[in-house]
Structure 1
Amino acid sequence: MSYEHKEGAFPLGQWIAEQRRAYGAGQMNGRRAARLEKLGMAWSAADARFQENLAAARVYYQEHWTLCAPRSAAALDKPVGQWLSNLRRPGALDGHPEWGAALEAIDEDWNPSWPAEWQRHYAVVREMLAEKSVLAYVEPGVTVHGMDVGKWLARQRRPEVWAALSDGQHERLETLGVTPLAAAPTPAEPEGAAEPSTAPVSAFDRGVAAPWRTTRARTGSVKVPRAHVEALPGGTEVKLGVFLSNSKSRRAKLTADKLAALAGLGLEWAATEGAT
């Protein structure tokens, strides 16, 4: 039960947190403790503190659309930014898988493999496009929560910056319709030079270009484990299982041409109206 939970007007979540505090401080008699234990009360102070901070995290997310808060961030008089930063440290959630699940239920990207500052900018752009759906509105000079998200977005589209982003970052930007700008033309190469690479640029194109027919022949299905990896000509590896899982979970946000490309590979959920 969350700290902010209420039954009618009664703040039940806060009341339970107070019972845990009293129990931990030795201020509760045995009879009262026994009555609460019969109802399934857990006395972990750590769990109680987590629920209080989680309530603050929910409030922060509602305003900022991300849990990648700066360390100085606060909500409900809780230092939620520092708390979240601590939980992102390796091993911080060991023994508490339910804590990680609770955070992911609020924000699936609360602990990304890329910088938290990048995620903060992306979250604002995502919310802006959800309202207006026009990239032109997010131009340099557009500032939200003290961040020039227009300038940030323009930078992500620069070819050299785009090339340095991870597949996960590419996928999130492409879901919003953000693609890299065309690279500046290069000087003509002398005759006899090697043919330029025709390998796909975007994460989606790489996934579609993976050797699906080979995979289907080998496995008898287009369903592959999430950890499955295939290689493109030239040696580029494609995390095919991750691509398939991510594409299916984001089906509602995919464009019609992308869905058609996936359906052509034999993915029934891409061709079925209303599939999830």
Structure 2
Amino acid sequence: MGGHPIGVGAKNARAAARRARENEELRAAGLPVRSAAGAMTEARQDELDAIDPGWCPAWDTAWQRCYRLVQNHVQAGGTLPEAAGDVVVQGEDLGRWVNAQRFGWEQLLPVQQWLLENTLKVTPAGEEERPVKRTQDTIWALNLTAARQFHSREGHLRVPRKHVEHLETEDVLSGRQGGADGPVVVKLGTWLDNVRERTAKLPEQRRADLDQLGMRW
């Protein structure tokens, strides 16, 4: 990304702060106050100054707070947090924040993207990293895998309504071993009850798959 967009944002922000101060001075002197449009509240200025005297409030204070915490961590010799729980500072999960920036890159302002790329070496997530979109067929395959796992272990398919089944792999969805967030949790009991309610609309092959497991219709 060419250029350095921070200067424009900082200039506009400080101009807003200056207008706010000038308005306060006019009020104190009993003089007419110009339009407050574009002025920044004193509370907003204090929030930003507390985070970083060099603030550029083109984004909210929570964003800049996390950015500064990550920057301080890296400058102190730490590695860039890449996963939730990697580094927690002042109650902020820095790994989770970094991931949120990478996967929400398109929603960031250009100046935020510039900061992340040039000061933290954070890059947008690639397509291969994004969660696999589940179709109706893959959702069925996932639930059927859970049903087969339960049947193999218990010898029947009499599943309690509130039972959940934990799958150690998600290869039925992505062709990869292991889900991005660990084991997959399937609400098997609820799913089987829902299947029974729509038996008439169930394709023959899907019904046959469950019949093989002793499904109680």
TM-score interval, smaller chain: 0.3 to 0.5
Scaled by the length of structure 1, what TM-score is found?
Answer: 0.28
Structure with more contact order per residue of length (Cα contacts < 8 Å, sep ≥ 6): 2
CA radius of gyration, larger in: 2
